[in-house]
Amino acid sequence: MKTGIRISACSTRPIDRLVKCDPANSLAIVRIVAGGVGNETTLFVTNRAVSTTQTGTIKVCKVAGPGVAVGTNFDFAVGSKNVTVPAGPADQGGYCKLVSGFTQGANVTITEAARSGVRVTAITVQPASREVSSDLATRTSTVTVGSGTTVVSFTNTAR
């Protein structure tokens, strides 16, 4: 396989010689018959260019725990990007903001800015397999960016 190129379709001549075309796995299976040039099987493969840098999104959620008012704004550094997320009701999973443009496979650290009178009491990552580490004391979570969205939720309670 060549970087940036993927199979998008395949066909044969004669048409009935194609046994299987599986572009996702870069696979074509053809039936070969005995005989001379008149019985040859020709395989045609169509390629397409794909982005070599695929990106994913991190969804930062803020949950208002005991003593934290719904709507209180919290600041986060998501890699080199900054976002403010208001605390939302716990029974709704908090309020969230999407931060996009992260390279898939990269580790990104999400840090909640310190705020007097509150402390982080929980950090969760979904899917859980993307969590590299989380530290309540430093208000950080490091995740591996995957396809689609990685959700990181921070819950605070009043001290």
The pLDDT of residue 74 is: 97
* CA atoms of 42 and 22, how far apart (whole Å): 17
Question: How far apart, in whole angstroms, are the C-alpha atoms of residue 140 and residue 106?
Answer: 16
Q: How far apart are CA 136 and CA 126, in angstroms?
A: 17
From residue 94, give the alpha-carbon distance in Å to each of 9, 99, 117, 126, 136: 44, 16, 19, 14, 18
Residue 55: per-residue pLDDT? 86
Q: What is the pLDDT of residue 38?
A: 84
Confidence (pLDDT) at 81: 96
Give the contacts of 69 (CB within 8 A, at least 6 positions apart): 87
Provide the β-strand partners of residue 149.
Answer: 57
Q: Say how far residue 8 (Cα) sits from the centre of its chain.
A: 23
Query: Which spans in 69-133 are helix H?
Result: none
- Judged against a pLDDT cut of 90, whether residue 142 lies above it is answered with yes
Phi-psi region of 26 (alpha: psi -120 to 50; beta: other; left: phi over 0): left
- Whether the model clears a pTM of 0.75, i.e. scores above it, the answer is no
Residue 3 token pair: 């970087």
pLDDT > 70: what percent of the chain? 95
